[in-house]
């Protein structure tokens, strides 16, 4: 039986990574996906790498780059660069680049759709766990006729590599589902983010945050030394798409949101979901 999402009895994040690498739907399809730079700080001339992880509780395994499932992969720094032409299919490092200045960079990735089918009880439980109230209510109206959950999902991930130009963290990348900070993340200060769906504010979205200790300097802790953790906080976005989340301390932070709508191609799936994430390390309070 297919199992999915945090809190369920799963075989572990290694299985999620295996499914991700194979391009198959299943357990990996229902886990968080995030971008992870080699350092969350940028200075001029630094060589930085960007990888991607899939897992639960901010603990996961590296997900190989899949060229055929990539819609866009860009770097917004001193200039806006298309990273996709320089990527290699199957590589664990999605991109390498040299910092053009010390201003900081925002990397943004969006995948195409991957299909996922779950038995009705599992799909309904998934909707409840992810706070997808509209899809859950629509299926409840159908009762037993709702049938199995036929879905296709896409990833919309961003990471902020901080520098001297905080305004770069606030730029919209144009992802289908996007978490847009309204200020640069700072330790011990609330962070207001706007959730955008197809470039418009999305109300009622459940925004969750996780936090993990850093490794050396501003580098993420390696996957072998990470523990799965529960969300630090969650909040629903207001009518303007804005949610306020606490950034209570130092370390690496993940903000995530899921949005599901009826699929536009009903012969393919009944629902399509978008999984957005934003990773960063907050700056010290001045």
Helix/strand/coil (H/E/C) assignment for every residue in 44-82: CCCEEEEEEEEEECCEEEECCCCHHHEEEEEEECCCEEE
CA dist 167 and 26 (Å) reads 38
Q: What are the tokens at 161?
A: 């590599």
Residues 115 and 154 sit within 8 Å (Cβ to Cβ): no
What whole-number distance in Å separates Cα of residue 109 and Cα of residue 82?
Answer: 10
Contact 150, 177 (CB under 8 A): no
pTM metric for this prediction: 0.89
What range does the domain containing 237 cover? Answer: 5-277
pLDDT computed for residue 3 by the predictor: 35
Going by C-alpha positions, the residue among 175, 180, 155, 173 that lies closest to residue 32 is 155
Residue given tokens 């709702």 in the structure block? 146
Residues of the chain with pLDDT under 70: 1-30
pLDDT digits (tens, 9 = 90+) for 226-273: 989 999 999 999 999 999 999 988 899 999 999 999 999 999 999 999
What pLDDT score does 20 carry?
Answer: 56
Show the tokens assigned to 134.
């509209």
State the pLDDT at residue 24.
Answer: 38
**Pairing state between β 114-118 and 70-76:** unpaired
pLDDT of residue 70: 97
Question: Cα dihedral sign for 13, 19, 22, 23?
Answer: negative
Contact 220, 240 (CB under 8 A): no
285, part of any domain = no
Domain total of the chain: 1
d(CA 126, CA 1): 14
Report how far residue 135's alpha carbon sits from residue 274's, in angstroms, rounded to the nearest whole number. Answer: 13
Query: Is residue 228 one of the residues assigned to a domain?
Result: yes
Assigned domain for 283 exists? no
In-domain check, residue 100? yes
* Residue 282: inside a domain: no
Q: Quick one: three-class SS letters along the chain?
A: CCCCCCCCCCCCHHHHHHHHHHCCCCHHHHCEEEEEECCCECCCCCEEEEEEEEEECCEEEECCCCHHHEEEEEEECCCEEECHHHCCCCCCEEEEEECCCCCEEEEEEEECCEEEEECHHHHHHHHHHCCCHHHHHHHHHHHHHHCCEEEEEEEEEEEEEECCCHHHHHCCCCCCEEEEECCCCECCEEEEEEEEECCEECCCCEEEEEEECECCCCCECCHHHCCCCCCCEEEECCCCCEEEEEECCCCEEEEEEEEEEECCCCCCCCEEEEEEEEEECCECCC
Report the pLDDT value the prediction gives residue 285, as an integer from 0 to 100: 81
Under a CB-based contact definition with an 8 Å cutoff, are residues 108 and 74 in contact?
yes
Q: Count how many residues are written for the chain.
A: 286
Residue 284 forms part of a structural domain: no
For residue 211 the two structure tokens come to: 């936090």
The set of residues, in sequence order, having a beta carbon less than 8 Å from that of 142 and lying 6+ positions away, is: none
Quick one: pLDDT at residue 8? 31
């Amino acid at each position: 039986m297919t199992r999915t999402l945090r809190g369920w009895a799963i075989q572990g994040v290694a299985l999620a990574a295996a499914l991700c690498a194979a391009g198959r739907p299943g357990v990996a399809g229902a886990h968080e996906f995030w971008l992870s730079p080699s350092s969350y700080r940028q200075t001029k001339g630094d060589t930085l790498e960007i990888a991607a992880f899939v897992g639960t509780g901010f603990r996961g395994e590296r997900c190989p780059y899949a060229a055929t499932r990539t819609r866009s992969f860009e770097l917004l720094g001193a200039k806006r660069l298309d990273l996709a032409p320089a990527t290699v299919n199957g590589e664990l490092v999605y991109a390498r680049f040299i910092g053009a200045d010390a201003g900081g960079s925002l990397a943004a990735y969006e995948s195409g759709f991957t299909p996922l089918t779950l038995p009705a009880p599992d799909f309904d439980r998934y909707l409840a766990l992810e706070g997808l109230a509209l899809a859950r209510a629509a299926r409840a109206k159908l009762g037993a006729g709702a049938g199995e959950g036929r879905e296709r999902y896409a990833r919309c991930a961003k990471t902020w590599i901080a520098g001297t130009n905080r305004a770069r963290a606030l730029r919209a990348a144009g992802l289908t589902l996007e978490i847009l900070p309204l200020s640069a993340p700072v330790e011990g200060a609330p962070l207001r983010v706007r959730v955008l769906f197809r470039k418009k504010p999305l109300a009622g979205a459940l925004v969750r945050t996780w936090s993990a200790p850093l490794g050396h300097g501003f580098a993420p802790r390696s996957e072998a030394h990470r523990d799965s953790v529960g969300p630090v906080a969650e909040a629903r976005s207001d009518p303007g798409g804005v949610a306020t989340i606490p950034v209570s301390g130092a370390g690496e932070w993940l903000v995530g949101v899921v949005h599901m709508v009826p699929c536009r191609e009903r012969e393919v799936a009944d629902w399509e979901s978008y999984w957005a994430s934003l990773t960063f390390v907050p700056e010290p309070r001045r």
